[in-house]
Structure 1
């Protein structure tokens, strides 16, 4: 008979710790050593996974055990009980019924009398034990989820890593406080988006500005695509009410207690607790961002979208303007509230007349811009803004160097870095405003060529009054007189 080359496998998860000392790593080790010694077996190796769940088999100790099995170093595996091997029914049955027998490895779950080398009643009860262990894990998972949901609804942050811009309050568990290093990035992101009206444009601006991504702040420099912001990253920040001071959790969940993959949950499943911590942006700024996101992503359920869909509103009741087709084929904009009886004014305007008014106002603004900024002067102004941005970026780098050299205290560094960032943000804003205004001038004489994205970048909203006058609110500053 082949001499047993015994490997002891020990495993303990956080859930198992609640069962007491009987399941401790030390207890398992001593229990199995005594069992092997009583039979005259020498222990070749001990494999330990302390703090690892049994719902999957991707555990470092278990993987080393498998490697030694494949190399022929181990031909007998001992565990205290079947649940130490695993709590996933399918995986446990695979190793017990297929993997170990194919490699002529004897497996013994000592306390339950399961021994592949002896056969007998142990094999009959194995499927029931595996199912019971699986059920135990499912029940524990359900209880943990329930307890965590109670904490979430009480306004306590339970995640391992706070969202970018915040850190955990060391004095109050479950409370978030602004991070002085990453908090300003959130404000910059919102300002950039409200200025340009584009998620992808915001991502490009942050990347061009060398702003570290959320994963860089969490994990350090990335090996792939360092500093590359995406539209998904930007949208995730813009839609998170946590930044307006309302702790928001449960935005995603695991597919199941055995599967690590996460799925995004719809907004109605989020857990939002109002006014739990200091906001990084005002409620007004956050709401405006949501309105802009809704406008840019709006698509009618039937028919084709119109150029001003989601941008035009009634000046009387604030309802959106909707569209109806006249007998002659002309399209009219009508107050949605008046069609439902909720607005006393029943005014309407032809869509082409509204578009012509916007075109004319843009042309007037373009003329003002042209008078105030001749091309050489405009080019010089742009170069000056770029130099200012480069200067403040370089200044920020020098501050990091001086802090590392011990020339600045942490308090001095934070204060000076904040001032440098604010100055750079102001220069970036001025450069962007000039760019948007130039784009408005370029498009002014040919509004019909404007696509949906360009128009929403230029126009914030159009208010149609009962006397058929229009109020057009642009997203860029009008040129100053003089």
Structure 2
């Protein structure tokens, strides 16, 4: 039996890290007693009410491919504290003939013990709901006492003893400048580009977030402009999640929000703040549904990799990062839409003429067949190597159970082996995709499709997405077109 072992803790605190190790040891003993094999450990540090867990999503994906035979968890709540998610996991397991076992004895489908699945799923969700309500009640009590309860203070402020205090740096002046610029008629994105160009630290950078970017965004400017904390009032409990299992948020009515007037130092006057809100309301207008242009999500900047944006007055495309953040972020990389259409249609017409040549057609077929056989041999060799690596990894569990090797040795070996297997899997996938694109389209069918396309005498979305994988636009506007077929020209 190939075991997928799922381990989850709610936080990254030291006591939770200890729980991770304890859970691992439980599974080692259990698997050792059964004589089963470890497929992989899937570990998340995340709440059980959400399905947005990277390792859980990977486990579900692997289950659909039937990469293992049984899912092991300490208890059902480790997999999910969400009834809907619990049933989804159960359904995926049943459809792919995968068993579920929890070490607390509640669920063991190998032995036919699954009748209480629904009961435990409901109980764990109710427990999470009660915990959520207790936390919300605690937060509300702190808010009524005038304590700032957010995890990150507004840009321009620090928190000391639950009270917002003005930062001793440039951030308060940046906030004031944002309000002044907006009152001068400058829009969200234009303000963001200015702050990016002048290299002011973003809110994410000030908060010390690991994935903090250096670019300001219009959405960030809008959040600052609508934050009432800058007037000196502590306004909390403005939003809430619909439930512990539905993470969508809804705005709490104004009369139910908790407001403590004049609780901290003012950054923006109430008159200035109210005027900005009025201007924002006045600028709102119903925008027509954005038109998706022909090369949207097909054309990309060759330097930064961002999508190209269609600009109406240019009748063509510009690097999205340049358009959003200016030349500080990237160059324009402009190209006319008509130019791209003309180049692709010319390439397709030339390809159609080439495919009419019998000799060329024969050479292409022979070359494609030779390439296909080579890739099949390469795939077979890589798959044999993966089998050997999996065998050596699975054999190690007995040495671990017998105490021949330490847990650290095992984890290091498994981590290195999994990394190597993952790299081999990617190589196999690339070879298989390459095989599909190098012989890959039946040439006669491709010829018929191209000729049918040419009858339209225009480049349609259908033609584009069937024949072109992506386009990279160089800084001088030269396009590099990646076709989905091997170009025999």
TM-score (norm 2): 0.49
TM-score (norm 1): 0.50
